[in-house]
Amino acid sequence: MGAYIIRRLLIGLVVLFFVTVILFILMNLMPGDPITAYIPPEVLAQAGPEYIEIRREQLGLNKPVVVRYFIWLNELVHGNMGYSVQNGEPVLSRIKERIGATFELTGTALLLAIIIGIPIGIISAVKQYSIVDSLVTLFSFTGVSIPVFFLGLGLIYVFSLRLNLLPTGGLATIGAPPSLLDKLSHLIMPAFVLSVANLAQFARYTRSSILDELGQDYVRTARAKGVKELRVLFYHILRNGMIPLITVIALQIPLLFGGAVITEQVFSWPGMGRLALEAIMQRDYPLLMGITTVIAILVLIANLLADILYAVVDPRIRYQ
């Protein structure tokens, strides 16, 4: 197992290298220039004709792409992700100041999706074609298809404006002393909105995966030898049924970091999604490279983690 992990990590490094090369090329193929992208034309015109050239030189944008890539890589190896084009702040510190709030939101949302979605899926599988099952199916289709901004604004309208129960957005009440209750009241709506799509998806996966297992021979055997139904469900079926779900959930982990652009915007949440969107709109290459590289690393780690978890859940799986 140890050797397997090390081998996977080494392969991961090579993959990461190629991923960054491709990202860098793609980013430079994007039409538009970081300087003209964030400075309005009429302001740029006031600045004098050579302004673009001066800034390009200061930012090193006038060097060939290959040279720029290796400068970037060299700095990365030394722990420096570069500086944001717009305000010169280190990319790492711009990511850091948002990472806490991002994980808070996306982590809660994922947790909500797991602890609600999986039990719902189990119930609807066991009680197939019952009213509960139909309701779950209806709910999950609604959940997957409802646009996030619509749900978000709808909740704000009902719970903040009409019922006056929850704040419209933000991390915490401005100026109030920090408290858990205040924090939760700000977190609940965005986390719920964000979890709805995942929740529905998890419920659907759990349901179909458990239905597959229900018809298996080992289930009949277990029942035949007189094992109690609950034990059949939790001890036999669930362990096998969880394997495809591990992949589904593991693939959500990198998205945790990426944040959720729309939910963050609707609820004024200072997350990575907004930062990434801005970086794209303003062609802030260093910032965008920083964010995408971290996501690439997380994808690799999440995949490895999923593979290891398979072995833990299913003793039949062994890695050499």
Partner 1 sequence: MKIVKKIWLVGLAVLLVSLMSFSPAMAVKEGGTLNLHINKTPDSLWPLTATCRRATYLFELTYNYLVGFNDANEIVPQLAESWDVSDDGLTYTFHLRKGVKFHDGYPFTAKDVEFTYTLLANKKAASLFFGKVEPVKGAKAYYDGEANKVDGIQVVDDYTIKFVLEKPNAAFLSNLMFPIVPEHIFGKIPVDQLATSPESQKLIGTGPFKLVKYVTDQYYEFECFDDYWQGKPHIEKIYVKIAKADVAIAMLEKGEIDYIPEFPPSELDYVKSLPNLKILTQTNTTWPWAWCFNLKRSYFKDKRVRQAIAYALDRQGFVDSVLRGYGTVVNFPNTNARWAWPDPSEINQYPYNPEKAKTLLKEAGWDPDRVIEILYYPGNKERDQFATIGQQMLKNVGIKADVVCMDVARAVEKFHKGNFDILQTGASAQPDPDYQSLYFESSKVIPAGDNITSYANKRVDELFKKGRKTFDPAERAKIYKEINKILNDELPWIIICEPMHVSVVNKRVHGMHFNPNIIAFRDPARLLDIHKWWLE
- Per CB under 8 A, residues contacting partner 1 are 30-34, 36-49, 51-52, 54-55, 58, 83, 86-89, 97-98, 101, 153, 156-157, 160-161, 164, 167-171, 174-175, 265-270, 274, 278, 281-283
Closest distance between partner 1 and the C-beta of residue 271, in Å? 8
Cα dihedral sign, 63-68-71-75: positive
Whichever of 157 and 218 has its CB closer to partner 1, that residue is 157
Q: Which of 97, 229 has the CB closer to partner 1?
A: 97
- Closest contact distance (angstroms) between CB of 144 and partner 1 is 23
Question: Shortest approach of partner 1 to residue 61 CB, angstroms?
Answer: 13
Residue 277 in tokens: 């969107």
Q: Give min distance, CB of 94 to partner 1, in A.
A: 9
**Would you give the distance in Å from CA 234 to the centre of its chain?**
29
Min. distance of Cβ 46 from partner 1 in angstroms? 4
Spatial neighbors of 216 by CB under 8 A, at least 6 apart, are 240
CA 120 to each of CA 134, 145, 199: distance values in angstroms, whole numbers, following the listed order: 12, 18, 9
**Toward partner 1, which CB reaches closer, 99 or 298?**
99
Two structure tokens written together for 288 = 């965008």
Q: Of all helices (H) and strands (E), which one includes residue 309?
A: helix 285-313
Q: Both ends of the chain: CA-CA distance in Å? A: 7
Nearer to partner 1, 197 or 266 (CB): 266
Contact between residue 295 and residue 7 where contact means Cβ atoms under 8 Å apart: no
Between residues 6 and 45, which has the closer beta carbon with respect to partner 1?
A: 45
